[in-house]
Every structure is written in structure tokens, then in C-alpha cells.
Amino acid sequence: MSQQNPCLAPSDTPPNAPYFKPYLTLENISKSFGNFHALRDINLSVGEGEFVCFLGPSGCGKTTLLRIIAGLESQNQGRITQAGKDISWLPPIRRDYGIVFQSYALFPNLTIADNVAYGLVNRGQSRSATAARVQELLALAGLPDSGKKFPGQLSGGQQQRIALVRALATSPGLLLLDEPLSALDALERVRLRSEIRQLQQRLGVTTIMVTHDQEEALTMADRIIVMNHGVIEQCGSPQDIYLQPGSPFVASFVGKVNILRGVSLGDGRFRVGLMEFRCETKVDHIPAGQPVKVYLRPEDFVARAVEQRTHNHTMAEVKKIEFLGAFSYLTVVLEGMEQQPVVASMSLNLLKELGLVVGSKLRYGLLPERIRVYRDQEQCQTVAA
């Protein structure tokens, strides 16, 4: 295994990451529907006990990949190994996983206890052993008294907690979650995501969750696999993905970002409008004169101790303040960049301290260690054409 490949279980990569022994390995997985390539040459290793999220926009192939791991869809080529065993072509029933879908998928005509017991029947256990296990699982779901109820008598969040423990009933080696929170309201989603994460950590079950919600992925995952158009764009910890996006797609898909058109001046210096600044993030060598796109997150603008923190500073005028409670989004025009207004975030306390209102002027600094710059492929093509 290469030390360089970030799609390996993290035990092989960052020195300070928690240790995960490789458990599930996908090698060269490809899938086409007719002429459409849904997945291209996917290589990934998931560690034992790791929580991995497949994150990407609609249609990027994440559900197809999860279904291939479950054996509910078959790959055109590639190999899947789980706990050292080749499961590439095994039917779902012979694979070792529990799965939770977006739609709860409980049997409406069975009681909650019978729903939970469903995967336990035909396992040669006595009735009393099954009943005890069901009770244990209901307690794990935080719903110990719900056994006699029917699914229709529970809220969406409660039903999903039951679906989760039903998937865990047989203590599978792998837990697969297909957008399990998307049908729930915002408050319940936040509550359940931390419950799922705590349960997963308590049980130590290797988990893969599909989501298109970046906040879910950032808060729950040990590692995020960002997918786009059937390929893996980047694998990394939530911090890596957010702070060191490997491509313009990742930088704009995960987190809010201002994208500005500029030009390279060479040696890590760039110009946007009339403003020149330095960027200290690792950028490919971009020769002077090349069109670039500059990515600035709202929190990359500093308004305090500006001169000490960066040479990249300029005056700005506040054009709009969007109040969001603990912080606000300020639409500002930076001097020399009048054509491209940007959005900067500011805490409620600082906003009050500086007394900013629409029309106020302030000095902003752009942190050179945060600015991301990529070649502007569209402009390059236009120039080439």
C-alpha cells in the first residue's frame, strides 16, 4: 500500500490519526448503466471501526457505490474485500452488514418489537433470548417501552432510531446508512446525528453513510470521501476537506466560499481587480499572466489587528448585513475590487464592538495561509481558443 494514497484507511496516512486497521477494501470498482458511467475505477479502503461518509451532489454515484457494497447492485468490474474475504459477487444475504434507508422501511403491520426481531428469527435462538435482545436494542434506541406499538404510532425520528437498532440487531460487521436523516426535520436531524455517532463509537461498528449534506458529513465522519461524476475527488478528515480542499469542486461544494477571478503574478502572488496579494497555501506553480480563480471563505477576512496578521490588507465598504444570530454575513466591496463584491462573516460581538452599519468603512486583511488559488480552466480555454 502506498503511503501517498489518501483513499486508504487512515492508519496508513496521517501520523496522528486514530488507528484503523483496514476492514473493507474496494478495488477498481466501475459501474455503467447502458452508456452512462455511474462509477469509474473507485479505490478505497475503510478502516475497522471507522465512520466514513460518501459526500457529493445528486447523481455523483454515492448511492450506487453503497448498493454495490451491499450487493444490491452489481459492479461491472472490481473487487470488494470485507474482513479479508472476497465478497465481490456474494448475494446480499451472504454479506455481513445492516442497512438503514432514508424512508425508515419498517413493516407497518408489525409491532416495533417484531420489527426489531425480524432479522433475529431463523437464527436458532430461543424465544426468550430473542426477546431479551429486542429489549436490549429498544433500550439502545432510547425507546424501551415502545415494543407493543406500531410504526405509525411513532414520530419519524423514533422510527429511524428503531430502523437503526434493527440494522444492528445481528451485530453486523458493517453498518450502511443511506441518507438516514434526510426525511427528518432540522431539529431532529441534529439530535439524531449525534446519537448515531455516539452509538457507532460505543459499538465500534465500521460505518459508511451516504449524504449530500456537508454539515452532516463534517460533524459525523472520521473521514469524508467527496465524490463527483462517478469518481472520488478527495478523501480526508473533515478538517482536511474544509481547510485543504484538493480541487475547485471540493472548495466550492464543502463550505461557503467567494470565488473571484484574477491573474497570477508568479511566485505565489496574485491580482484581483487592482488588489495584489500573497497566498501561502500550497498552489501548483502558476506562471505569471495565467488566469486564476481565488477562493476565499467568509471567515478568511480578518478585521482585528489586521496589519500584524497579514500584508494582504485593504479598505472595504459594507454594502449589506445579513443577521444570522451569533454571526452575520457582511457583503462588502474591497478597494480595487469593486466589480466583485464578497461575503465576509463576523461575530455578533465584533460587529457590535466595531459599530458597523451599511455604509461603514473598515480595514480587512486576507489571511495568506487560507486563500486557495486554482487555475481558471474556463478562462484558460477561452485564451487558448
Closest CB to ligand ATP among 55 and 334?
Answer: 55
Looking at beta carbons only, is 178 or 376 nearer to ligand ATP? 178
Reading the block at residue 60, the C-alpha cell is 455523483
Strand pairing class (174-178; 97-100): parallel
Measured from the CB of residue 29, what is the shortest distance to ligand ATP in angstroms?
A: 12
Q: Please, which residue, 64 or 214, has the CB nearer to ligand ATP?
A: 64
Residue 345: partners with Cβ closer than 8 Å, 6 or more residues away? 298, 299, 301, 327, 328, 329, 330
Q: Does an H or E element contain 372, and which?
A: strand 372-375
Work out how close the CB of 63 gets to ligand ATP at its nearest, in angstroms, rounded to a whole number: 3
Q: How far is C-alpha 53 from the chain's CA centre?
A: 6
Contact positions vs ligand ATP (CB under 6 A): 33, 38, 56, 58-64, 212
Whole-number Cα distances in Å, 218 to 44, 87, 237, 256 = 19, 30, 8, 13
Shortest spacing between CB 94 and ligand ATP, in angstroms: 22
Instruction: Pick between residue 64 and residue 290 the one whose CB is nearest to ligand ATP.
Output: 64
What does the angle CA 53 – CA 85 – CA 78 come to, to the nearest 5 degrees?
Answer: 65
Q: How far is the CB of 49 from ligand ATP (least distance, A)?
A: 25
* Cβ-based nearer residue to ligand ATP, 54 or 364: 54
Q: Would you say 72 or 243 has its CB closer to ligand ATP?
A: 72
- In whole angstroms, give the CA distance from residue 363 to residue 356: 12
Q: What cell was used for 383?
A: 485564451
Query: To which residue does cell 495568506 refer?
Result: 368
Residue nearest to ligand ATP as judged by C-beta position = 63
- In whole angstroms, the minimum distance from the beta carbon of 50 to ligand ATP comes to 21
Residue listed under C-alpha cell 500500500:
1
**How near is the Cβ of 360 to ligand ATP at its closest, in Å?**
42
